[in-house]
């Protein structure tokens, strides 16, 4: 049973080589997926912000990843799907938008903020999230 598990070798190396040549090996502890999901965040009207709150209840701040669509306020269309959020875009003197997320000991917060919009409009953004935990903490 000592060889049971998963190994992924780096380019140019074989899984039978030393651990230092592995991209991943299940020989060592790894983070586990606590929660994963998708949703839609809706923005209606002018400047403002939207927040989605997802409870994790771990009692500590976990590692989280959020991916989502980017909405171009100039063309009024979604221009990219499932990119890593946490960005700030400054578009000329008219528009600033922020997509970001953060976590505390109880929740994951996914936020969208818009300011200096010259025209009010509404749109939906799809997002996906992953919350990881250390199995030793359960």
82/34: higher pLDDT? 34
| Residue 12 pLDDT > 90 | yes
Is CATH 3.40.1000 correct for 31-137? Answer: no
Residue 14 confidence (pLDDT): 92
What band does 1 get if pLDDT is binned at 50, 70 and 90? very low
What burial letters (b/e) apply to 55-85, b meaning 16+ CB within 10 Å?
ebebeeebebebbbbbbebeeeeeeeeeeeb
pLDDT digits over 35-94, tens only?
999 998 877 766 667 889 999 999 999 999 888 877 666 676 777 676 666 655 545 444
pLDDT digits over 90-122, tens only?
454 444 456 788 999 999 998 877 655 555 667
Residue 62 confidence (pLDDT): 92
């Amino acid at each position: 049973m000592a060889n049971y598990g998963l190994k992924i070798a780096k380019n140019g190396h074989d899984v039978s080589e030393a651990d230092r040549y592995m991209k991943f090996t299940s020989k060592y502890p790894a983070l586990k997926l606590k929660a994963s999901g998708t949703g839609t965040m809706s923005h209606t009207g002018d400047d403002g912000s939207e927040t989605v709150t997802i409870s994790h209840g771990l009692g500590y701040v976990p590692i989280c990843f959020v991916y989502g669509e980017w909405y171009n306020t100039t063309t009024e269309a979604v221009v990219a799907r499932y990119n890593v959020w946490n960005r700030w875009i400054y578009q000329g003197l008219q528009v600033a938008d922020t997509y970001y997320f953060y976590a505390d000991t109880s929740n994951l917060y996914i936020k969208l903020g818009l300011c200096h919009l010259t025209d009010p409009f509404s749109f939906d953004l799809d997002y996906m999230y992953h919350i990881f935990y250390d199995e030793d903490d359960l």
